[in-house]
Each structure stands twice: as C-alpha cells, then as structure tokens.
Amino acid sequence: MIHEIDVFQIKITEEYTLLFKETFPHRVNEALEITRRQREKTWEDVNGLLQKLDTLNWEIMSWVNRISFVDLSQVDIRGATLTKGKSLWTRQFQDLKKRIDEVLMQFTYKGHPLHYVGSLNNGTRGAHKGKTVININDFDVDLFVVHSVEWHRNLPIIMKNYPQNLSNGKIFPLGTHMQELQNLSHAVGQALAGELGDDLKNAWDFIDNTEIVLREIDSY
C-alpha cells in the first residue's frame, strides 16, 4: 500500500499541474478572472481528482483496518494519525533540508553563496502543484547564484550565441561557454548525490541534472 501511495502522490500532482496550467497558461493569468465556462470545466476536472483522492483514502482505511484491526472511522484515531504523520514528516523534511544546506555551504561562485528556490524552502509546493507538501523521496534542488557583475559580463554572449539559455532574466549555463559555472554545478550535484545517496531513491540523478542558474538580482 505504501508504494501505491507514493505513486499516487506523484501522479495526482502531475495531473493537477496540467489542469492548473490549462486554466492559467502563464503566471500573469492567475490574477485574471476566468470565464464561467472555464470555471465549470475546471471544477469538473478538480472534482474528478478529488474523487480519486477519496477512493485512495477508503483503500487506505480498508488496508489499515485489515492489518491492525483499528477502525479509522473514529474521529479521535483519525486525528491522532494525522497529527503523528505531520510530526514525522516535518522531522524528516527538516533533517533533509539541513543536510542539503550543509552541502551547499561548502560551495560558492566567485565568493557568492548558492541558494535554491521552490518547495525545498518551506516544504510546500506552489499553487500550480496544489500547494501540496514536497515529496521527500522525489524532488529537485533548483539552485541559483546572484552575481550582478558576472551576469552583465556574460549576458551579451548569451544573448548572441545562446538566447535559449536566457529566461526571465536568468542565465542557464549548461551548454554555453560558462564552463566554470557548469563545473561547479556538476561538483554540487556530486556532493548532493554523495550525501543523499543512501536515503534518496534517485539521488544519483543530481550528478547530471544539477544546474546553478545565474541571476542579476535575488528575485524571480
């Protein structure tokens, strides 16, 4: 049952994200009013996801009742289970975040510290992912460094030769001339994999998939 829950969490989040982006294709659309037809369609789709969630909840309750002879329909047991689960998750998340922070503190880019954005900051994913908690067994570390001088120095070359590596004022170094930042990204990825390899299923993916984005200022 635990495996089914892990798979469900990943799949349902992906489905919600697709639904969210269909309703709000761009971030600016989130502040705009949607039409009545869009609202009805969106609610129908969300209701479908809620029905899937209800089905899984009943399956979990039936499973627990079978193996432990505990009636989860009792309010006090349900509440205690949720409280205990939240406590366990919070402790695991804080330990994970601490370990990642300690790894990142070992690295700088030309004297500037590394940072990350996204759900790893507080454990909660964005609105486009239903504001669900981070899956501590499957997540990304979205790294960036703020260095205004280097950003301005590299920007003309990026715009001329690698325009696809510039997005919303952020420079993505992989596949460009920025070898130093690419090497640093790889080194950080190796360090993260080494630290988390025994506990995280896909930790070794950090080696090839870590990219430190260069920013002019510390904002989106």
Query: What's the pLDDT tens digit per position in 54-94?
Result: 888 778 777 767 766 555 555 555 566 667 667 877 888 89
Ranking 101-105, 148-152, 166-170, 201-205 by mean pLDDT, the lowest is 201-205
H-helix or E-strand spanning residue 13: helix 2-23
What's the whole-number mean pLDDT along residues 174-194?
A: 95
Asked if 109 and 181 touch (Cβ cutoff 8 Å), the reply is: yes
Reduced to 3 states (helix: H, G, I; strand: E, B; else coil), residue 75 is helix
What's the whole-number mean pLDDT along residues 189-208?
A: 88
Amino acid at 17: T
Asked if 21 and 128 touch (Cβ cutoff 8 Å), the reply is: yes
What's the whole-number mean pLDDT along residues 41-49?
A: 87
CB contact set of 31 (below 8 Å; sequence gap of 6+): none
What's the whole-number mean pLDDT along residues 5-9?
A: 77
What's the whole-number mean pLDDT along residues 139-157?
A: 94
163: pLDDT confidence band, cut at 50, 70 and 90?
A: very high
Q: Note the pLDDT of residue 173.
A: 96
Rounded CA separation 1/154 (Å): 51
What's the whole-number mean pLDDT along residues 151-168?
A: 95
> Among residues of the chain, what percentage have pLDDT more than 70?
80
User: Which stretches within 75-178 are classed as H helix?
Assistant: 75-104, 148-161
> Among residues of the chain, what percentage have pLDDT more than 90?
36
- Provide the mean pLDDT of the chain: 83
Rounded CA separation 207/32 (Å): 40
Q: Note the pLDDT of residue 165.
A: 95
Q: Say if residue 200's pLDDT is above 60.
A: yes
Asked if 133 and 125 touch (Cβ cutoff 8 Å), the reply is: yes
Q: Which residues are bridge partners to 215 per DSSP? A: 146, 170
Q: Which residues are bridge partners to 145 per DSSP? A: 114, 214
Q: Note the pLDDT of residue 74.
A: 58
Q: Say if residue 182's pLDDT is above 60.
A: yes
Q: Note the pLDDT of residue 63.
A: 75
Length of the chain: 220
Query: What's the pLDDT tens digit per position in 84-130?
Result: 667 877 888 899 899 999 999 999 999 999 999 877 877 666 665 55
Asked if 89 and 120 touch (Cβ cutoff 8 Å), the reply is: no
Q: Note the pLDDT of residue 160.
A: 96
Q: Note the pLDDT of residue 62.
A: 77
